[in-house]
Structure 1
Amino acid sequence: MNQAIRINPVIDRLENILGRGDIPAPYDRWGARLLAHLTKPVQVVVTGLAGSGKSTLIEMMSTQPVIGQHLEVPIIELAYGEKERALFERQDGSMTGFPGFLKDCECPQDSIRARQELPDTKLISQTFVEIGLSGDLAQKRAILSSACERADIIIWCSQEFSQEEQHLWASVPDQIKDHSFLVLTMADRQLMRDVLSQNIARLEPIVADEFMGLYPVATIQGIAAQTSGEGLNQALWTSSGGKHLMDPVLRQIKQGRGADVDQAQIFLDRLAARTPEVDAEGREAPQMPDPVAINGRDTKEKSEVAARADDVAVDVVAPDGRSVALLSEAVDMLQQRARKMLDEMDHSDDLDAGAILNSCTEAMSSLAGLLDTSPVDDPATQGAREDVQEGEEMLMLFQLEHSEEAALDAVTLLLQIRKELIDKVV
């Protein structure tokens, strides 16, 4: 278990529950994927066209000038490791490692990925990944699409955010844009050429819709502020634009991880509701003795009382004709939505995870709206509303991953809620 888990009790409980190996499907695989997501560092992807200052920006953001400018590798990672080590992944899948820093190593010609590991505890919670966009327009789009699948946060480096860059950025999913920053690198040079203000004014209306913010940064000054002298030169760090960028980036990392932990708690709560032997804290719930068997002398009488109590309970919650009609309509709606999505998956060469997740979310929202038309005090539909609310929370978990497997599990969730609704009708 890494340090990120040890400092969070919710993640610790989730791992303990999954480690017991008795979680029913599909919660076992949902929980496993959620745990994998929570224990993986936040992926901060720095991308942009060639020569846009990506490596230097990563060195400034990480306070670690260890990459250098000579690497010509499609992907460069800066991550936590127990010791200073430079790794190169080759085209044949093999790894070549060297002690020390990337900037001091000779990169093998067939390298497809370089990784710098450092024993810096700040890198436990976040990994910086440089992904350059090269080739023709189609190749750049493909690389950017792959970067989006990996990224939790994207930082786009540019000196002007040209029409080509805007065209590329237009293909990025909205959920990624909501956690993205546009950085105008080499801002000091633009300031000297008297074009910085002009570029900022031109880009502000674009940034308002496409990014969290626009940040001019003089990266060389930012690195100097951190490395020259015994401590951080606050004045130079602020004037370089480094502070104005890093404050919101670190806030996004913290908020994102906090939201992930909240989703883990939601998962534990739902699991506890579905598996009474496990409480929301991840502990085995105590087994209560059978009240009928406490005293053997009156077993028969107590059994009859318990049976009558069960009969009364069933009579109280039995749905009336109006509730049955509403729940039946809800069942039919979910069946139609799920069948349509499964048909689309069967007839599509490429599974569009985002479209499926959005369709599932829309279906759950429509279901919630339908059930809201029922009387508030109707116990049958009230239980259904609670199931739908939990389902909406589970869909939020799947949206975190945004993968094909998560999309399939979202459809499975719809079908499971449909089954629960059927149980309330019959």
Structure 2
Amino acid sequence: MSNQSPGNRVQSELEQAVASGLLPDSVQQKAEHLLMRLQQPVRLALLGMPGSGKSTLINLLVGSDVIPDGVRLPTLQLIYGETEKTTCTLPDGSKTVLDSVDLNEIAALSPVFVEMQMPLPALRKISLLEVVAPNDPNAIHRAAQWAAKRSDVALWCTRGFNETEQRIWGTMPDLTKDHAFCMITRADYLKTEGLFEATVGAVKLAAKDEFSEVLPIATTQGIAARRADGTVDKAAMRDSGSSGLISAVLKQVERGRQSAVDMADVLLHQHADLLASIDKRSAPPEDEVAVPEPVAPKSKAVQELPVAETPKDDAVPEPVPEEPAKPAAAKPAAQDAISRLRAIAARKNVSRDAALDPAPTPAPAAELTAEQTPAVAEDKENDALAPATREAYEHVITYIAERGAELAATLDEQGDGGPAEVMSMTSDHIQWLCDYLNENGDVADQSLQRVRETAFDAADMVQLMQMEKGDSAALEAVSLMLQLKREIQADLAA
């Protein structure tokens, strides 16, 4: 019996669809883009003024002193590779490839851009782009805009987020701002000088609407928390702010992958008739087909990591529909949407105690940092939910599960008019969730604050989707509600 996780199953099917050549040209381009998002590590860009601590933060994130203190390099991209290799782009546009990562040899070439390939475990999950520019606002602005097009998550490093930085960041695309963190570096120095509270308060006030989160971090303290024997001083790591950064990055990584998986799943279903022939060629033998039988709830949620390579897990196999003896005729639009919504509901939209698709939990530290470095593995032992928040979350999960059944019934009953009605109903449900979460739970919980923001973002997105009124838009709206449910489940399981 197959034990392939839903995320891996969707990626595998998308790979086959892209290679088949059966998709229309416009759809093929979208499919290739989604596949690239699923296959590649999440791209992090480190931005900020010169001397703001970007290089030191890179060393923390990858768990290795890639850029020693005092070394100055041009804009740098760090990616995974089985062996070390450096590609230097020179001022005349030519490239020189080195079979090592030798900083002296690199510096001697005076490159304008450097790509380092290294066998660091962290780089299987993320790639890093450190953007270097002269200490000139216009140059930094141009560099930041360039990086925004080449990254999924942005980390703006700062010592105080002054007016110049605010002006530069204010011009960044909204999509970048939605997936960005303001990193207040040198938090240890600020504490020593008695400036920590005032600086953090001022930055949060100036940046509250510009970033996903503002995170103070004592980067050198976080690096020092890694002991020579490979163990980590967890208390020092947490106190440095490193654990909070890693947790925040991992959530963005998971959210980005799950969004791509959902969109790919919808695309595959919309074009199932065109892809039927490759489904037959790649179908497993009968004795390997997963049978959609009830599954007892697991004692512990199993993680599906949110980037290209996901480890084996205990995720329940996807129910495989019985294949007809001959190709099926194309379904009416509403009927097709009903089937898709029911498939989603059967996999995800069930009560917490009988979930067939457990909510993902944060990745262990060793997955993001050096192989034996649990720095990023810092669990959320200090992130326990308050009873009021836990009670609110459980009510929300029950509400979403019940609404899913109603939405499926609406599509079933109203035929071709169902998708528009589902859009309207989903918009109302998400607005209810916004109001409920805004009035319930413990406001001191950072988890609740994040979930509230997610709910409000989902409400805005559904309002835009309502203009489409199509089957796919209705299903994507439902998917937003399910993503909110998954985020809450992850916090409950932490």
TM-score range, shorter chain: 0.5 to 0.7
Once the two structures are superposed, the pairs formed by residues 105-254 of structure 1 within 5 Å of their partners are 105-134=105-134, 136-254=136-254
Give the equivalent residue in structure 2 for 1:277.
276
* Cα contact 1:181–1:215 (8 A) shared by 2: yes
Matched residue, 2:352: none
Distance 2:6 2:93 in 1: 32
Q: Which residue of 2 aligns with 1:40?
A: 40
Work out which of the residue numbers 326, 340, 360 in structure 2 matches 1:288: 326
Map of 1:61 onto structure 2: 61
CA contact (8 A) 2:59 2:65 kept: yes
Match of 1:115, SS state, is strand
TM-score norm. by structure 1 comes to 0.64
Higher relative contact order (CA 8 A, sep 6+): 2
Residue 388 of structure 1: how far off its partner (Å): 5.2
Does 2:365 align with 1:366? no
Q: Does the residue aligned with 1:111 lie in a helix, a strand or coil?
A: coil
Alignment-derived partner of residue 101 in structure 2: 101
**In structure 1, what is the Cα distance between the partners aligned to 2:473 and 2:250?**
34
TM-score (norm 2): 0.56
Counterpart of 2:474 in structure 1 is 389
Q: State the Cα deviation string for residues 180-230 of structure 1 (Å, max 9, x = none).
A: 111111111122222121111112223321112222211111111124343
Counterpart residue identity of residue 386, structure 1 = D
**1:316-358: CA deviations, max 9, x gaps?**
x9x9xxx9xx9xxxxxxxxxxxxxxxxxxxxxxxxxxxxxxxx
CA distance in 2, matches of 1:290, 1:141: 55
Q: What's 2:426 paired with?
A: none
Name the CA distance, whole Å, in 1 between partners of 2:218 and 2:169.
23
Does residue 91 (structure 1) correspond to residue 91 (structure 2)? The answer is yes
Structure 1: gaps (5+ residues): 292-316, 327-359, 369-384, 395-426
The residue matched to 1:211 in structure 2 has which SS?
coil
Q: CA 1:278–1:392 in structure 2 vs 1: closer, same or farther (change >3 Å)?
A: farther
Residues 61-70 or 45-54, more deviating: 61-70
List runs of 5+ in structure 2 lacking aligned partners: 284-322, 330-413, 421-460, 480-494
SS class of match (2:117): strand
Query: What per-residue deviation string (whole Å, max 9, x for no partner) do you get for residues 6-42 of structure 1?
Result: 9822111111122122223322222122212322221
Question: What displacement does 1:367 show?
Answer: 4.5
Number of aligned residue pairs: 311
Report the equivalent of 1:31: 31
Counterpart-to-counterpart distance in 1, 2:85 and 2:328: 61
84-93 or 192-201, which deviates more: 84-93
Report the alpha carbon displacement of residue 99 of structure 1 after superposing the two structures with TM: 4.3
What is the one-letter code of the residue matched to 1:34? Answer: L
Contact kept, 8 Å, 1:187 with 1:216, in 2: the verdict is: yes
Change (3 A) 1:190 1:156: same
User: RMSD value over aligned CA atoms?
Assistant: 3.6
